[in-house]
Amino acid sequence: MSTAKKIRILLIEKNISGAEIARAIGVDRSAVYHTISGKSKSAKLRKAIANALKLPIEELWSEEKLNINQNIIKFSTFGRKNKVEEGGHDDFD
């Protein structure tokens, strides 16, 4: 299930609207809806949405966090793989 769909279901279950969240934090409701849909990645709005749903932010946006962590791992091991292949041993112990 997508993050947006999960959030929409939770909002319905808890009887909360995006407009209510927007009013509570002083932003336009379209900003909240863009964050829910993934068009915006505003940390402030993500936190406000998570708080309104009484959930940790990681529970709502765990997919994005996983993708970020995977990219960090790929980037951090980029040079090591080449070094091992070229030198025949790992100098990083």
CATH number assigned to the domain comprising residue 64: 1.10.260.40
pTM: 0.61
Would 45 be classed as within a structural domain? yes
Give the count of domains, the chain.
1
Would 14 be classed as within a structural domain? yes
Would 93 be classed as within a structural domain? no
Residues 6+ apart with CB under 8 A from 13: none
Would 30 be classed as within a structural domain? yes
The amino acid sitting at 7 is I
Q: What is the pLDDT of residues 50-89, one digit of tens each?
A: 998 899 998 888 755 544 444 555 555 555 555 444 445 5
Q: Quote the radius of gyration of the chain (alpha carbons, Å).
A: 19
Q: What is the pLDDT of residues 35-61, one digit of tens each?
A: 999 898 888 889 889 998 899 998 888
Would 27 be classed as within a structural domain? yes
b/e burial code for range 73-84 (CB count within 10 A of at least 16 → b): eeeeeeeeeeee
Q: Please give the Cα distance from 50 to 62 (Å, whole number).
A: 12
Would 7 be classed as within a structural domain? yes
By residue range, what is the domain housing residue 37?
3-87
